[in-house]
Chain A
Amino acid sequence: MNLHELTAHEVRNRVARREVSAEEVARAFLERRDAVEERLQAFITPLDAEAVLSQARAVDEALARGESAGLLCGVPVAVKDNICTAGLRTTCASRLLADWVPPYDATVVRRLRRAGAVIVGKTNMDEFAMGSSTENSAFFPTRNPWDPRRVPGGSSGGSAAAVAAGAAALALGSDTGGSIRQPAALCGVVGLKPTYGRVSRYGLVAFASSLDQIGPLARDVTDAALALAVIAGRDPLDATSAPEPPGDYLAALERGVRGLRIGAPREMFEAEGVDPAVRDLTVAALETLAELGAAVEECRLPTATAGLDAYYIVAPAEASSNLARYDGVRYGLRVPGADIVEMFERTRGRGFGPEVRRRIMLGTFALSAGYYDAYYRRAQQVRARIRREFEEAFERFDLLASPTSPTVAFPLGERTADPLAMYASDICTVTANLAGIPAISLPCGFEGGLPAGLQLMAPPFQEERLLAAAAAYERATGWHRRRPPLGLIASAGEGGA
């Protein structure tokens, strides 16, 4: 077996036991990354070999000195390009930040480094995380490792593709309305969105601050648990980070699913646009969970489908304010103008892509005097109701389950001209962000050779329960062990034929 086929925890254990050096691991992943990158374009900034190898050597040297092995020692990790890395450019896939080099590390990046991770590059995404296909990157689209004619999902499409293709053992993404889970589903990997506040947002370039959460994309549930164990916890630099102590996520993996009550909200299975084949795969997954001892039952979340509407008010509203700082005054792109107002207008007009401009306008409108009550306030009311519905549902159920994405990966270009069709990709995922609850996407089968995802949701701070059920399902099915036919990618042309 090639080293790049190892999961993160396998890499970690072998490096920790010094069966293999972090440097050897890094070389294997670099070779793989470079072999697939030309076709996938998962990275905006792939770190050069020396920069990767020097991190790996530092890990080896620390182990040689007898230092204890970190939870991610020697694990090659890809980081979404909206997470700040000191000295390494962080673009958010935007022309506005194309050359911006942060002077500081995000809290999660500091934690990765402390745990011995080796960062291999910054991954592609939709500009400022606004999109569901990674086609809104200002630089280039990323392709789905299962079929290069199709999108990897988004906005963390680069991270999902990198993990699926073995270019990194693990990746970090960010999830505002499904941006970790949906690409995880479309690329056949595990994607975890933690509870709002579980992971520090310090250093995550904000899209919608009340919804954004960083989480892992991984080859299996164990790796997701490992990554969460490293990045979770209170951060004094983030006032919204939660004081609750993190759980024992690795121990939770053995707990199984027996006795858990799982609700399947009808609204999410019957929502407009849910592909019957995807629905069938999800239903089959629920049957598997029932066979493993869970009590599965249909339930209702009447407001769930209104979540999409509320989401597309709240998220752009916050974004319109969060993105106001990109004005060309202090950093990033500056397009000069005759006066300051013209400089603002030109910088923002040329720096932002069409989807970002659309959302800034939507959000500005939703917050404007005379419209605030009808839009922003109303959306917050819907959000509050969704929260209540989840609370009620979680009185009866330990977990809720649904498809992650209504469809499998769609062809590049299919939805770029139709924003509403693109927004519909998030129908099953946005409610978890609105309610602030944790959710995970797991590979649950294939349709036409393309992976589909099962979403499990849990009450706030119940990541352990989520991981326990996910691990049990994964052990019973093994979908996660399937690998994309990358031999095809390496040899196939653009059309993949």
Chain B
Amino acid sequence: MSRTEATTQFETVIGLEVHVELSTETKMFCACRVTFGEPPNTHVCPVCLGLPGALPVPNRRAVEFAVRAALALHCEIAPVTKFDRKNYHYPDLPKGYQISQYDRPLGTGGYLDVPLPEGGVRRVRIRRLHLEEDAGKSLHDPRLGTLVDLNRAGVPLIEIVSEPDLRSPEEARAYLQELRNVMLYAGVSDVKMEEGSLRCDANISIRPAGSREFGALVEIKNMNSFRSVKQALEYEAERQRALVLSGERVERETRHWNERAGRTTPSRSKEEAHDYRYFPDPDLVPLRIDAEWVESIRRSLPELPAQRRARYEGLGLSAYDAAVLVDERPLADFFDACLALGADAKQAANWLMVELQGLLNEKGRELSATRLTPEGLVALLRLIEEGTITGRIAKEIFPEMVESGADPRSLVEARGLSQIADREELLRVVREVLAQHPAAVEDYRKGKTNALGFLVGQVMKATRGRANPGLANELVRRVLEE
């Protein structure tokens, strides 16, 4: 019994292989445009169709993007790298081989600092980053059979392989989130998992806590969202744990995540038995990466997520708020634009994360689909700050600004929504309200002080929320004391 208990303490060891499609204008080895969702086989040419006689010519921009991505992950850039052929037959692989990089990848030895959900940071080492071309897509039609669309064939990809440094499915999810952020902020990809521009395979094993050995490695494929990565890994870790506990062995194999069934199943393809027969691609010459060019790319790297989070925290935002903003790049960029217009960081963050996010969630929309401008939001904040409108009025007109992009000042003027801060004017209203509610006045005078709140509320109602709340409070109290 005690032995079993001792071995129930397992550690999960995870490494991820992530493919990221680079958002270059044109493909890796030809001049076809990189597109998504276009009619099949409309962005193809002799090169990406693999026609006899056609030859690949590397896209310098793709190499630049790959260098940028590698630098953002703190990799060493190889001064000389080369392309190799990975040979296998598949209907959507036009040449019968994929041009990839085998033993001399573009980038090696990097790392990514991953903020963990429970706080703290996990440094995940990056083993390698290499450049390759994407394959096409096979479409299975019940009547027509298998059809092949080669629009995606030849789109530049980088493959990023981590060391097995992740210790839970949740950490794996956090790593993906941060990697996605880095690629997005580095400007090399739109990293949309649902469009396939970010794809992830995982290696997972378990071992008794404290052990230095690794357990049998299982490769998991076919995870199509961040959520499915976490679910698949949770399922798999549990499956392996159960096997070990029942005295069975974990097989080294490739398994498929079946989203619908919620479990992993052994892969039918003989992936592991596959011999890709890599050899240097004789159609391409070794790629010399000029050190000065690398430095100029390094200098031009934009602010990366970790730096941006630190900057936001420096402005007084909580670590959580900073992370939420940075994870949603359009929101963070909007926030920065507000800061540039002189907005108060905390106020702007609050409006974006509470009011705006609430509206967006409610309507299932994205920021880019609204008409809200940083100028509009900053003007609104200023109206509150100046005391021209109350917070309540601001919240009232905000949805309209989001919808139509209307200027808050014009809205306030057109509808007479500015705050009543004039003592005489407000005093008149207070007297009228008190006259209409003699019972409440009576209650207050008998010592029920909560009647004050009711009466102030009635004043706000009578002014449709325009009364300055402090002043209204003061005047009600004064008249009651008279």
A203: contacting residue among B53, B85, B87, B91, CB under 8 A: B53
Question: Which chain A residue has the least Cβ–Cβ distance from B58?
Answer: A239
Q: Is the CB of B53 within 8 A of A325?
A: no
Mask: chain A, 196-211; 1 = CB below 8 Å from B; 0 = not: 0000011111101110
A-facing residues in B193-245 (Cβ within 8 Å): none
Please, which residues of chain A bring their CB within 8 A of the CB of B85?
A: 321
B-facing residues in A56-102 (Cβ within 8 Å): 82-84, 90, 92, 97, 100, 102
**Interface residues of A, dominant DSSP:** loop
Contact of B192 with A by CB under 8 A: no
Please, which residues of chain B bring their CB within 8 A of the CB of A82?
A: 53
Min distance, Cβ B414 to any Cβ of chain A, angstroms: 61
Contact of A384 with B by CB under 8 A: no
Contact of A236 with B by CB under 8 A: yes
Contact of A364 with B by CB under 8 A: yes
With A239-B58, A321-B85 already in contact, the answer to whether A102 and B94 are too (CB < 8 A) is: no
With A84-B52, A321-B87, A367-B277 already in contact, the answer to whether A327 and B57 are too (CB < 8 A) is: no
Question: Which chain A residue has the least Cβ–Cβ distance from B279?
Answer: A367
**Interface residues of B, dominant DSSP:** loop
Please, which residues of chain B bring their CB within 8 A of the CB of A100?
A: 52
With A104-B46, A330-B49 already in contact, the answer to whether A324 and B54 are too (CB < 8 A) is: no
Please, which residues of chain B bring their CB within 8 A of the CB of A205?
A: 52-53
Min distance, Cβ B447 to any Cβ of chain A, angstroms: 89
Q: Is the CB of B55 within 8 A of A202?
A: yes
Contact of A54 with B by CB under 8 A: no
CA distance A97 to B95 in the complex (A): 15
With A100-B52, A369-B275, A376-B279 already in contact, the answer to whether A239 and B57 are too (CB < 8 A) is: yes
Contact of A493 with B by CB under 8 A: no
CA distance A324 to B85 in the complex (A): 12
CA distance A205 to B283 in the complex (A): 12
CA distance A203 to B54 in the complex (A): 6
CA distance A92 to B97 in the complex (A): 21
Q: Is the CB of A340 within 8 A of B91?
A: yes
Min distance, Cβ A456 to any Cβ of chain B, angstroms: 26
Q: Is the CB of B50 within 8 A of A344?
A: no
Question: Which chain B residue has the least Cβ–Cβ distance from A363?
Answer: B277
Q: Is the CB of B58 within 8 A of A325?
A: no
Min distance, Cβ B139 to any Cβ of chain A, angstroms: 13
CA distance A57 to B97 in the complex (A): 44
Q: Is the CB of B96 within 8 A of A327?
A: yes
CA distance A372 to B285 in the complex (A): 21
Q: Is the CB of A204 within 8 A of B53?
A: yes
Mask: chain B, 411-438; 1 = CB below 8 Å from A; 0 = not: 0000000000000000000000000000
Contact of A103 with B by CB under 8 A: yes
CA distance A327 to B96 in the complex (A): 8
B-facing residues in A205-235 (Cβ within 8 Å): 205-206, 208-210
CA distance A317 to B87 in the complex (A): 11
Q: Is the CB of A368 within 8 A of B277?
A: yes
Question: Which chain A residue has the least Cβ–Cβ distance from B88?
Answer: A324
Contact of A342 with B by CB under 8 A: no
Q: Is the CB of B52 within 8 A of A324?
A: no
Question: Which chain B residue has the least Cβ–Cβ distance from A341?
Answer: B89
Contact of A106 with B by CB under 8 A: yes
Contact of B282 with A by CB under 8 A: yes
Q: Is the CB of A318 within 8 A of B87?
A: no
Contact of A237 with B by CB under 8 A: yes
Contact of A240 with B by CB under 8 A: yes
A329: contacting residue among B53, B54, B148, CB under 8 A: B148
Min distance, Cβ A458 to any Cβ of chain B, angstroms: 22
Mask: chain B, 276-294; 1 = CB below 8 Å from A; 0 = not: 0101001111000000000
A209: contacting residue among B91, B96, B282, CB under 8 A: B282
Question: Which chain A residue has the least Cβ–Cβ distance from B52?
Answer: A205
Q: Is the CB of A324 within 8 A of B57?
A: no
Question: Which chain B residue has the least Cβ–Cβ distance from A369?
Answer: B275
A-B contact pairs, 8 of them (CB 8 A): A82-B53, A97-B52, A106-B53, A209-B283, A240-B285, A318-B279, A330-B148, A376-B279
Known: A240-B284, A327-B89; 7 extra A-B contacts, CB below 8 A, are: A90-B52, A202-B55, A238-B57, A240-B285, A321-B277, A327-B91, A329-B91
The interface of chain B, by Cβ under 8 A from chain A, is 46, 49-58, 85, 87, 89, 91, 94-97, 146, 148, 275, 277, 279, 282-285
The interface of chain A, by Cβ under 8 A from chain B, is 82-84, 90, 92, 97, 100, 102-104, 106, 201-206, 208-210, 236-240, 317-318, 320-321, 323-327, 329-331, 340-341, 344, 364, 367-369, 372, 376
